[in-house]
Chain A
């Protein structure tokens, strides 16, 4: 798409958006549009040049920002709604959200599928056919069988704000234990679901991989989600909050397996001899030990000694 086309598209949508935003702060409007305040003000300047024939004084678009930084506009009535969706937009949304229908499964997967159906219905008939044809060519793996009912329980608990008691295998410590948690939200990371919840054992917000929960039961105790909690912050940065006890863990991979590691992780670096090295921060080593064991003698925990011991603990256990 040419620059002028992109600009037109943006300005047309802006006009429709502004139609309902009279009197709102500029910064808020920009944030909601996913654009910067600077870009929004530039776009408003651009729009002030435009009007409809016969171009009388009332036929021009006018935007003003008052002393409280609030937007006031005239002449947006004509663009009361945005332009219909294009097939390219519908396809992009499909590729982005369709994986979630499988990854989430259950009621959340259905929620996403419902959104996609509504978007489909809003397309022009000729565009709808193209999107349907694409669906024929896509296949999404379903969620792990056991994860779906657990996710349902945790979603219900969050909706009703009821504390949950779980039996949980901690991948970081390698131990199974009981915890009481208040689910605040969920994050999808690397194809797995995690619950972000307040853990009463650790008295802090912790991340729980849902497929590592053995059992979950909703209690009668209520809880509230703090006003400043934002799931997007967990998803955007580190879903595992640092505890302050992290150490550098250095891993080495032989040239025979290095290319898989380099493809898989942006943290891995290729060495001159074709092997790969990766340094990551971790406070618990059990999950690293298991991961390294997949590569057997083709990989090694170089440091720290604690992580090596974790690996040897698994190997020295008598095979059941």
Chain B
């Protein structure tokens, strides 16, 4: 065959898109130079591959009976029954319908470019790039509004792992497919293989998490997507169902100290007026405020991240109760201060 496969396929698309009457295989064979001298079985083989390739691209290539124009799902079986078939590309399905974006929407969709850069996965980026090229075909000349928003690429070291896992997990979440993977538990610095039923992918504070039922622990668990490795979708395992009471919203917008690590305890925080708005921003919905007294009540289930927060906000907020938590913060502050005290005898770094 003198011409390249790409040219042959393009010729095939052009031919089947231009005709309104189904084109028989013989017409295709003799009409497209790319099929050259191919005949019989060897032509059949190449033509079958070409049809599959076009369908993979989403091209609605369909077979029809020549006699009554009815769509035929298996043209080879039809041929055995003596029915003559032909091919067409369904024009109603081929073309992208008008999206009718507003000027504002045209400006906003330009974010898909930098968003693709945020998704550091080859397949996801390629799919986004091709979507953008198709969509841009419709952009009217006057719609070049100046974008109002920019997306900065993340500086996290684990974005590539996150994106690659996300590309696979979206399918597992969509079709309820059990997964097998190795999960790195950063707190214990250990990794273990496990199976999980992925219920939902949660995006929180710029990071993707997977919530699912962990078969190793026999309980629902939250996994940071970037800490998953060796991810496999167990397609032959029976599809799981999500228990009726499961509510994906309960995992949204939580602060680190709201995730259960022990029994809940109420922390009372005193915040002077000049710092209150800033602390309110920091605590968001995790605190209930009594503005008259300048007090916030917070239900803490994991004290460690709260102690860290309180240490970083030492000059803005004081823990009134419980006393033990306040003492932990004080001790931490003392030990931190000692690092910078010249006569303290601590080992300095650098």
B and A form one assembly? yes
Which of A8, A91, A291, A300 lies in contact with B349, CB distance below 8 A?
A300
Establish whether residues B149 and A187, one from each chain, have CB atoms under 8 Å apart when the complex forms: yes
Query: Given known contacts A4-B53, A78-B14, A142-B252, is B131 in contact with A231 (CB within 8 Å)?
Result: no
User: Would you list which residues of chain A between 63 and 99 have a CB under 8 Å from chain B?
Assistant: 78-86, 88-93, 95-99
Establish whether residues A291 and B312, one from each chain, have CB atoms under 8 Å apart when the complex forms: yes
Chain A residues positioned under 8 Å from B136 (CB to CB)? 17, 32-33
Determine which residue in A1, A141, A259 has the highest number of CB atoms from chain B within 10 A of its CB, and name it.
A141
- Interface residue tally for chain A (C-beta within 8 Å): 129
Bound-state Cα–Cα, A82 to B115, Å = 22
Q: Which residue from chain A places its CB closest to the CB of B54 in the assembled complex?
A: A8
Chain B residues positioned under 8 Å from A212 (CB to CB)? 278, 281
Determine whether A315 belongs to the interface, using a CB cutoff of 8 Å to chain B: yes
- Looking at the complex, which of B66-74, B80-88, B102-110, B233-241 is the stretch in contact with chain A? B102-110
Query: Given known contacts A51-B11, A319-B318, is B311 in contact with A296 (CB within 8 Å)?
Result: yes
Determine whether B348 belongs to the interface, using a CB cutoff of 8 Å to chain A: yes
Determine whether A204 belongs to the interface, using a CB cutoff of 8 Å to chain B: no
Q: Which residue from chain A places its CB closest to the CB of B159 in the assembled complex?
A: A266
Give a binary string over B98-130; 1 marks a CB under 8 Å from any A CB, 0 the rest: 011100110011011111101100011111111
Which of A20, A55, A259, A293 lies in contact with B137, CB distance below 8 A?
A20
Determine whether B251 belongs to the interface, using a CB cutoff of 8 Å to chain A: yes
Q: Which residue from chain B places its CB closest to the CB of A275 in the assembled complex?
A: B349
Establish whether residues A231 and B127, one from each chain, have CB atoms under 8 Å apart when the complex forms: no
Which of B33, B53, B153, B174 lies in contact with A5, CB distance below 8 A?
B53
Establish whether residues B97 and A122, one from each chain, have CB atoms under 8 Å apart when the complex forms: yes
Establish whether residues A320 and B281, one from each chain, have CB atoms under 8 Å apart when the complex forms: no
Establish whether residues A169 and B278, one from each chain, have CB atoms under 8 Å apart when the complex forms: yes
Chain A residues positioned under 8 Å from B94 (CB to CB)? 83-84
Establish whether residues B152 and A320, one from each chain, have CB atoms under 8 Å apart when the complex forms: no
Establish whether residues B186 and A52, one from each chain, have CB atoms under 8 Å apart when the complex forms: no
Chain A residues positioned under 8 Å from B186 (CB to CB)? 259-260, 263
Bound-state Cα–Cα, A267 to B100, Å = 43
Chain A facing B: main interface SS: helix
Q: Which residue from chain B places its CB closest to the CB of A239 in the assembled complex?
A: B152
Establish whether residues A145 and B133, one from each chain, have CB atoms under 8 Å apart when the complex forms: no
Establish whether residues A49 and B3, one from each chain, have CB atoms under 8 Å apart when the complex forms: yes
Bound-state Cα–Cα, A85 to B94, Å = 9
Determine whether B323 belongs to the interface, using a CB cutoff of 8 Å to chain A: no
Determine whether B293 belongs to the interface, using a CB cutoff of 8 Å to chain A: no
Chain B residues positioned under 8 Å from A10 (CB to CB)? 130, 133
Bound-state Cα–Cα, A47 to B6, Å = 10
- Looking at the complex, which of B37-45, B213-221, B268-276 is the stretch in contact with chain A? B268-276
Chain A residues positioned under 8 Å from B271 (CB to CB)? 320
Establish whether residues A303 and B350, one from each chain, have CB atoms under 8 Å apart when the complex forms: yes
Establish whether residues A185 and B199, one from each chain, have CB atoms under 8 Å apart when the complex forms: no
Bound-state Cα–Cα, A242 to B271, Å = 34
Give a binary string over B192-209; 1 marks a CB under 8 Å from any A CB, 0 the rest: 000000111111111100
Determine which residue in A104, A146, A315 has the highest number of CB atoms from chain B within 10 A of its CB, and name it.
A315
Determine whether B322 belongs to the interface, using a CB cutoff of 8 Å to chain A: no
Query: Given known contacts A137-B173, A145-B285, is B126 in contact with A6 (CB within 8 Å)?
Result: yes
Establish whether residues B157 and A191, one from each chain, have CB atoms under 8 Å apart when the complex forms: no
Chain B residues positioned under 8 Å from A78 (CB to CB)? 14, 17-18
Q: Which residue from chain B places its CB closest to the CB of A143 in the assembled complex?
A: B253
Bound-state Cα–Cα, A262 to B204, Å = 20
Which of B58, B127, B202 lies in contact with A91, CB distance below 8 A?
B127
B244–chain A nearest beta-carbon distance, Å: 14
Establish whether residues A235 and B151, one from each chain, have CB atoms under 8 Å apart when the complex forms: yes
Chain B residues positioned under 8 Å from A235 (CB to CB)? 114, 150-153
Chain B residues positioned under 8 Å from A145 (CB to CB)? 284-285
Establish whether residues B124 and A315, one from each chain, have CB atoms under 8 Å apart when the complex forms: no
Bound-state Cα–Cα, A82 to B54, Å = 14
Chain A residues positioned under 8 Å from B9 (CB to CB)? 4, 8
Chain B residues positioned under 8 Å from A79 (CB to CB)? 17
Chain A residues positioned under 8 Å from B100 (CB to CB)? 118
Establish whether residues B314 and A319, one from each chain, have CB atoms under 8 Å apart when the complex forms: yes
Give a binary string over B1-36; 1 marks a CB under 8 Å from any A CB, 0 the rest: 001111101110111011000000000000111000
Establish whether residues B155 and A146, one from each chain, have CB atoms under 8 Å apart when the complex forms: no
Determine whether B259 belongs to the interface, using a CB cutoff of 8 Å to chain A: no
Establish whether residues B152 and A211, one from each chain, have CB atoms under 8 Å apart when the complex forms: no
B303–chain A nearest beta-carbon distance, Å: 14
Query: Given known contacts A133-B174, A319-B318, A320-B270, is B338 in contact with A108 (CB within 8 Å)?
Result: no
Determine whether A244 belongs to the interface, using a CB cutoff of 8 Å to chain B: no
Determine whether B158 belongs to the interface, using a CB cutoff of 8 Å to chain A: yes
Bound-state Cα–Cα, A57 to B59, Å = 27
Chain A residues positioned under 8 Å from B325 (CB to CB)? none
Establish whether residues B308 and A118, one from each chain, have CB atoms under 8 Å apart when the complex forms: no
User: Would you list which residues of chain B between 146 and 205 have a CB under 8 Å from chain A?
Assistant: 146-158, 166-167, 170, 173-175, 186, 189, 198-205
Bound-state Cα–Cα, A88 to B32, Å = 31
Chain A residues within CB distance 8 Å of chain B: 1-2, 4-14, 16-17, 19-20, 32-34, 46-47, 49-55, 78-86, 88-93, 95-100, 102-104, 108, 111-112, 114-115, 118-119, 121-122, 124, 130, 133-134, 136-142, 144-146, 155, 158, 169, 176, 185-191, 196, 211-212, 214, 225, 231-232, 234-236, 239, 250, 252, 259-260, 262-268, 275, 290-291, 293-297, 300, 302-303, 308, 311-312, 314-317, 319-320
30 A-B residue pairs with CB within 8 Å: A5-B53, A7-B6, A14-B133, A32-B136, A46-B7, A50-B7, A50-B11, A52-B18, A92-B128, A95-B124, A96-B116, A100-B115, A103-B206, A112-B108, A119-B99, A122-B99, A133-B174, A133-B175, A134-B170, A137-B173, A138-B170, A187-B152, A212-B281, A231-B148, A232-B114, A235-B150, A260-B186, A265-B156, A300-B349, A320-B317
The 4 lowest CB-CB distance pairs between A and B, nearest first, are A235-B150, A191-B206, A137-B173, A302-B350
